[in-house]
Structure 1
Amino acid sequence: MKTEKKLSSASREPSLLYEGVVEEENRGSRLDAFLASRAELQEYSRSRVQEWIRAGFALVQGEVVGKPNHKVNVGDKVCLSGQLKQTRAQAEEGQLDILHHDKDIVVLVKQPGVTVHPAPGVEQGTLVNFLLHRFPELQGMDEWRPGIVHRLDKDTSGLMVVALQEGARQVLQKDFSQRNVNKVYLALVHGVPPERGEIDAPVGRHPSIKTRMAVTPKGGRNALSHYVRLWADSTGQLSLVAVKIFTGRTHQIRVHMDHIGHPIVGDTVYGKGMQKKWALRHPLAARITRRQMLHASYLQFQHPGTGESMRFFSPPPMDFMRLPLLMRPGCQRVAVVGMPGSGKSYLSGLLAAQGVPVFSADKIVAELYAPGADCWKLLRGRFGDRFILHDSDPVDKQGLFKAMVKEPSLRREVMDMVHPLVEHRLRSFWENCFDQRLAVAEVPLFLEGGWREKQLADLVICVDMPGATRRDLLEGKRGVSEDMAAVLDSWQWSREDKRSASDIVVENSGDPDQMYAKAKDLLRSLQQRRIRQARQLGERFRELCSCRQLPFVRETGGI
């Protein structure tokens, strides 16, 4: 029995898996390490490569080398063959998502994480194994790839057509090679690419990183992709694109989108640096993103037997659909405005007491007026000792204010100095609050500065107090005269304009207990808004991922 097994194993010829020449960057590398880093062998473990080396399947300069730790030299020609443990793919029970099948073909949705067909080191759990169990008639075809006429990467999901008999396979294979098949993919990519684009760039082996493909002007094979941007999130971090490929190069979409600076989310091979930075910023989204977010959504071809035009659509799986919800701006950015003395700071303080991060423009200005701070330097350079007597003194705020009242041109000049610095601080504040559900910025001149148009907040809350009550509080608590209050008011929009330009108005009667209750109500209201927005985004995204929205489907007549 042992002799029979040995002979049976020896009777199966190993397949050539890699042939190449050692380059300068690999001088002195171990043979197993060199081979394991080759793109052609990336799906095999290093231990499997070592097993093949010890079995005598590795050649260096035409000689068998059986030691994995053998050191290779520049210019060495290295070959490695692999031997499957089985003589052919074996039937194996597994889940198949079948959309259509007849005597000639089966159309299905491949799940992410499933390899299409067996190969050395991946002999079980493939799509072919499952197909053989469901369709025994495939046993009479190719030993390892029965019925396979096109492939998807292991971690790419979506539509595939498989031939159930040899005649159908030949027809389909010819149609694929002659580009008579319409394939449209949906992808989630980093950043916001232009609305529409054509990527005509040859794809070949990466010149220095052998585990990757790349756009290679010399030696690459022509590759053409068209894409349309369907959606982009408000922060500019994520976009949904539809991609139609006119050629079928290895990793074509992944390479092309990376080439234009917008790699696919979840792709740890292409755009690795961007993916790593994104994962740190969005840990929850990164936990569910264990593959590249690429889905073969639409497939159109002629039936190999009847000639009928066959069209199929598959919406992306759940991990793809959930990602934009997890990626949506996690922080609801709220600006608080109001007339001087209306209670902006009081409301902000109540929210801060509930754990809400709060930004205060007035506090930032005070910091900027401190000795050596940015605004201090600008004022010192522009006006000398007019508002700063000594280098160790802060800005004379009272003297500056009086001068701004008397000289409108000076006021505008100072505002032009201060506002960009406060705006920069506000942007940094929002950036630091990206993982918060809610953050608040109290900025008295938010509306007047045009910051709403700059999208520096998601919504604006106006704290409003009746004029007489507000004037009494200004005079009683702050010692602000009626004339001075009128000056402060004149620098801002009117009370009516602020109310009408705001999303929410919080009425302040001056009663602290009532304001405490209104702060609680406001938090509940803001939470309900976040929930509604999430639901609306989910509905919008499902619509965008429907067949009705695919541009290349509409251009070819739809389903």
Structure 2
Amino acid sequence: MQETNDINESSDLYEHYRFEANDGQVPLRVDKFLMNFIENATRNKIQQAAKAGNILVNDFAVKSNYKVKPKDVVRVVLSYPPHENLLVAEDIPINIVYEDDDVIVVNKEPGMVVHPGHGNYSGTLVNGLIHHIENLPTNSNERPGLVHRIDKDTSGLLVVAKTEYAMAHLSKQFFDKTTERLYYALVWGNVEEDSGTIEGHIGRSLKNRLQMTVFPDGEFGKEAVTHYKVVERFTYVTLVQCKLETGRTHQIRAHFKYIGHTLFNDERYGGDLILKGTTFTKYKQFVENCFKVLPRQALHAKTLGFVHPTTGEFMQFNSDIPKDIEDCLEKWRRYAVNSLEND
């Protein structure tokens, strides 16, 4: 048994990170475990934190050589509050599609982080929202107004609650899976079926903690269901419409990688490599030009529907496919036409 210091967290310490090891966790030193979870962390800093008694496992301070086991709750606590709790209002341009006394619908630009977190303490959508509106309600994660979120490099529609009642009402709709969410994604390969459903629990990868992965037998993760329809085919890539039944982290990205159709230029999941096509230098140059036009994963939250918390009316919003994705699609359209003409 690893030696631990019997020190319970004191009231002047603030939780910065909290991770629960899943059932499949093999014994792993806590410093290595945290390296897998925390972006931009160095092992030296983690070891210093352990030495100072700032790393707790099941509420007891541990040394950096403590071996993490299944179901262990690992926390990093420090003497100052997390940066994300020190929210600062910032005058950031926000593309507001709709607003009333209860809700705001935002069309988020690609590259904008939704809420402050490790490495992104300013310039987020939340920083802009609290400048636009005072006293936004907070959820259990202390994230003002948020009832759902989309990834930094995903563009598209997001609904924000302006009152406590609206937050509870909208949160229940997301929990009950009654909202409508349609995404457009460009994926590698020719998706053979015109439509289909991808199922498989999604959880954090056991090999790379920055990725989510599919556990088809449901031994880890949470249930996830994605329905898709093919919109357009371009020989080596396919444009698909995705309807989310559940809303797991990186759901579309993980599900399509699982079925062999990684999102185009999705760096985290390997889509920034040439996964389908020819070996010709000219083709390689063409794909690299597409990556330059679209320097992010090809994913856009196009349609959002929900019941208005106060009026009870079903509201649906649609957004245009952004210019970077549209420019990339146009390149592939021309490529597909030229390929047919040359056959």
Report the equivalent of 1:258.
257
Alignment of 1:159-308 (within 5 A): 159-193=157-191, 194-216=193-215, 217=217, 218-233=219-234, 236-270=235-269, 272=270, 275-278=272-275, 280=284, 282-308=287-313
> What's the offset of the Cα at 1:47?
4.5
Cα distance, 1:292 vs structure 2: 1.2
Deviation sequence 1:366-410 (CA, Å, 0-9, x none)? xxxxxxxxxxxxxxxxxxxxxxxxxxxxxxxxxxxxxxxxxxxxx
Q: Tell me which structure has the larger Cα radius of gyration.
A: 1
Correspondence for 1:14: 15
**Among candidates 66, 74, 79, match of residue 79 of structure 1:** 74
Bigger relative contact order, structure 1 or 2, given CA contacts below 8 A and separation 6+?
Answer: 2
TM-score normalised to the size of structure 2?
Answer: 0.80
2-side partners of 1:167 and 1:61: how far apart? 35
Q: Does 1:113 align with 2:111?
A: yes
1:310-341 per-residue CA deviation (whole Å, 9 max, x = no partner) reads: 110011211111112334565996xxxxxxxx
Count of aligned pairs between the two proteins:
315
Normalising by structure 1, report the TM-score. 0.51
How far apart, CA to CA, are the structure 2 residues paired with 1:326 and 1:86?
Answer: 40
Report the structure, 1 or 2, having the larger strand content: 2
Q: What letter corresponds to residue 81 of structure 1 in structure 2? A: V
Q: Offset at 1:205?
A: 2.8
Q: Which residue of 2 aligns with 1:513?
A: none
Unaligned runs of 5+ in 1: 1-9, 334-429, 431-454, 459-559
Counterpart of 1:275 in structure 2: which amino acid?
Answer: D
In the alignment, the residues of structure 1 paired with residue 337 and residue 241 of structure 2 have an alpha-carbon distance, to the nearest angstrom, of: 29
Deviations 1:239-269 (A, max 9, x none): 1110001111121111111122111111123
Q: Give the C-alpha shift of residue 20 in structure 1.
A: 2.6
The amino acid of 2:259's aligned partner reads I
**Structure 1 131/73 Cα, relative in aligned 2: closer, same or farther at 3 Å?**
same
State the match for 1:325 in structure 2. Answer: 330
- Residue 46 of structure 1 is matched in structure 2 by 41
3-state SS of 2:272 partner: helix
Cα distance in 2 for partners of 1:303, 1:202 equals 30
Question: Is 1:64–2:69 an aligned residue pair?
Answer: no
Paired letter, 2:318: F
AA matched with 2:142 = W
More helix by share: 1
Aligned twin of 1:34: 33
Q: Which runs of 5+ in 2 are unaligned?
A: 1-10, 276-282
**1:151 aligned partner:** 149
Alignment match of 1:97 (pick from 88, 95, 106): 95
Identity among equivalent positions (%) equals: 33
Amino acid paired to 1:17: R
Show the 5 A alignment for 1:139-538.
141-142=138-139, 144-193=142-191, 194-216=193-215, 217=217, 218-233=219-234, 236-270=235-269, 272=270, 275-278=272-275, 280=284, 282-328=287-333, 455=340, 457=342
Distance in 2, matches of 1:315 and 1:200, equals: 28
CA 174–191 in structure 1, closer or farther in 2 if over 3 Å, else same: same
Structure 2 counterpart of 1:90, one-letter code: V
Alignment-mate amino acid for residue 274 of structure 2: K
- Partner amino acid, structure 2, of 1:56: G
Aligned to 2:278: none
Q: Report how far residue 120 of structure 1 moved.
A: 4.3
Alignment CA distance shift 1:97-1:61 (3 Å): closer
Q: Give the SS at the match of 1:269.
A: helix
Alpha-carbon separation, structure 1, partners of 2:200 and 2:57: 34
The whole-number CA distance in structure 2 between the counterparts of 1:175 and 1:36 is 36
Return the offset for 1:85.
3.6
Q: 1:18 to 1:332 in 2, by over 3 A?
A: closer
Matched AA of 1:457: N
1:313/1:47 Cα in 2 relative to 1: closer, same or farther (>3 Å)? Answer: same
**Contact 1:284-1:326 within 8 A present in 2 as well:** no
Aligned Cα root-mean-square deviation (Å): 3.1
3-state SS in 1 of match to 2:268: coil
Deviation of 1:192 after TM superposition, in Å, equals 1.3
Deviation at 1:308, TM superposition (A): 1.4
Measured after TM superposition, the shift of residue 284 of structure 1 is 1.4
